[in-house]
Structure 1
Amino acid sequence: MTNLNAVPFHEKSYWEDRFKREKHFEWLLTWNNIKSEIIPFLNVSDEILHVGCGNSTLAFDIFESGYRNITNVDYAENVISYMKSVTQKREIEAKINYSSISWYKGDCLYHLQSYLPKKVYPVVIDKSLIDTIACGDDDNQSRVKRLAAEILSVTETDGHWFSVSFSSEREYHCQMNADTNNVYHWKTKRKIPIQVTQLNDKPGAPPIYYYLYINQKIKVT
């Protein structure tokens, strides 16, 4: 049965309308929650792709950890314009050069590579983008598979996709044929449960966990 009151997280119009009113929101986990698990995989010179960036400050938080090159993409043009203005304001107020943080409008489900300044990245991060894509999906998880394929296409061989999800059963199935001799897929190396504290938790309330998936682009042998 369809839930008529379900929030349409999978619809672009929902996000465009939401971003007209909302200035900042962090989905599920912050950089502080996940950086100890991600940093061991990073090099300072890595160019990091943040997909479904919304109005998160993740890019600035990563920058402050010493990783300067961050490309952010979202399909809502109004939030990209807004985050560009946030970047400019921060530069003036903090006197910090954020020129290595960039913002692009682009659809992560369709021809993602065409929106980006580079063809491939060693590191990709999403925070609950995959959950929003899963909303309204079919029984075959066609939308989730499409997202996985698009991100695979913009990730370097042996590169990593760090995906934050509320689901403990998220799957990252897809396969890309670069040519007849090179076939790639995602391998989930680890699924890390991260406990979060809710502001309104009552004493004795059961713990709540979100999940960080560490996926690697692997050549099929």
Structure 2
Amino acid sequence: MTFDKKIIILQASRVKVKQADRFQTEDVYEWLVGYHQIKDLLGQYINKNDTILILGCGNSLLGEKLRRDGFNLIFSMDYCENVVTNMSNHCDTCKHINWLTMDATNMPIRDETFDIVLEKATIDTFLVNEKDLWTLSAPTIKIIDQTLSEISRILKPNGKFISLSFNQPHFRGLLYSKDKYDWSIRSIDTIGDDFHHYLYVVQKGLPISCSTSYYVYEPPKIIETMATCDESKENDIFDINL
């Protein structure tokens, strides 16, 4: 089964891209976990005939291995032109994947195009310079909001956004739980025994009230206090009979 990528693109104008030096020499790299660790979970949420967009594919073999497992309608996109070029020529299987170079915050893709948008640590990369995950900087909030808004826009009704992250639910759940995205967190799966990663499945069209429950933790408030001294006792120090 084939899918003409011209159908999904709104405009043919060249998207502003950047080069990443690491991709000039690095062949492949898997962030967080390998495909074998999430294969069964993904199979619960993705159908073989779903149209799938891998957001921020990098030089991961995720798309290649999904294709080998019979998921034929795969689009892999990244902001870095050289990694898209390299991965599209990585193997014969990769040549059957549709490769796109674009910015996740402004994707020239038609509304309601994909059944699945899948990302593995792409959202995490937006947070690498943050010193406090409880209080994100304005630029980071903006880029995450733009990306999530775009994901919601290009998802079909009842489509799923599947996000694999290092961030615990008390951080990531709050980012994903907003009415404006017209979706709800359907499930959160924990991967790993000692060192955990999290697979968030978010379904478009479900109200926030249908969201799966997750632990919401707030850091303890730091209360500043000033040491006080009993004035009468302070005076006693000087009341010494010699």
TM-score, normalised with respect to structure 1:
0.73
1:60 paired to 2:53: no
Q: Any idea what SS the aligned residue of 2:196 has?
A: strand
Per-residue deviation, 1:123: 0.6
Q: Any idea what SS the aligned residue of 1:188 has?
A: strand
In structure 1, what is the equivalent of residue 123 of structure 2? 130
TM-superposition CA deviations, 1:49-87 (whole Å, max 9, x none):
00000011111110121111110000000101111221x
TM-superposition CA deviations, 1:13-70 (whole Å, max 9, x none):
6x71221221110010122211211212222211110000001111111012111111
In structure 1, what is the equivalent of residue 97 of structure 2? 101
Answer whether contact 1:145 1:173 (CA < 8 A) is retained: no
Paired amino acid for 1:214: V
Answer whether contact 1:27 1:128 (CA < 8 A) is retained: yes
TM-superposition CA deviations, 1:109-143 (whole Å, max 9, x none):
1x21x1x4885100111000010022346445222
Any residues of structure 2 matched to 1:191-210 within 5 Å, and which? Answer: 191-195=188-192, 207-210=194-197
In structure 2, what is the equivalent of residue 39 of structure 1? 43
In structure 2, what is the equivalent of residue 121 of structure 1? 114
Q: Which runs of 5+ in 1 are unaligned?
A: 1-11, 177-183, 197-206
Tell me the distance in 2 between the aligned counterparts of 1:19 and 1:211.
26
Tell me the distance in 2 between the aligned counterparts of 1:174 and 1:80.
32
Higher relative contact order (CA 8 A, sep 6+): 1
Tell me the distance in 2 between the aligned counterparts of 1:174 and 1:154.
17
Cα distance change, pair 28–76 in 1 and its aligned pair in 2 (3 A) = same
Paired amino acid for 1:189: R
Paired amino acid for 1:31: Y
Cα distance change, pair 119–186 in 1 and its aligned pair in 2 (3 A) = closer
TM-score, normalised with respect to structure 2:
0.67
Paired amino acid for 1:166: F
Give percent identity, aligned residues only.
Answer: 28
Answer whether contact 1:160 1:217 (CA < 8 A) is retained: yes
Which residue, 184, 188, 196 being the options, matches 1:187? 184
Tell me the distance in 2 between the aligned counterparts of 1:136 and 1:120.
32
Paired amino acid for 2:73: N
Per-residue deviation, 1:100: 3.9
In structure 2, what is the equivalent of residue 159 of structure 1? 159
Bigger fraction of residues in strand: 1
Answer whether contact 1:69 1:100 (CA < 8 A) is retained: no
1:216 paired to 2:220: no
Cα distance change, pair 48–104 in 1 and its aligned pair in 2 (3 A) = same
Size of the alignment, in residue pairs? 181
Tell me the distance in 2 between the aligned counterparts of 1:45 and 1:125.
15
Cα distance change, pair 99–117 in 1 and its aligned pair in 2 (3 A) = farther
Larger Rg: 2
Q: Any idea what SS the aligned residue of 1:167 has?
A: coil
Per-residue deviation, 1:154: 1.0
Answer whether contact 1:148 1:174 (CA < 8 A) is retained: no
Tell me the distance in 1 between the aligned counterparts of 2:177 and 2:24.
34
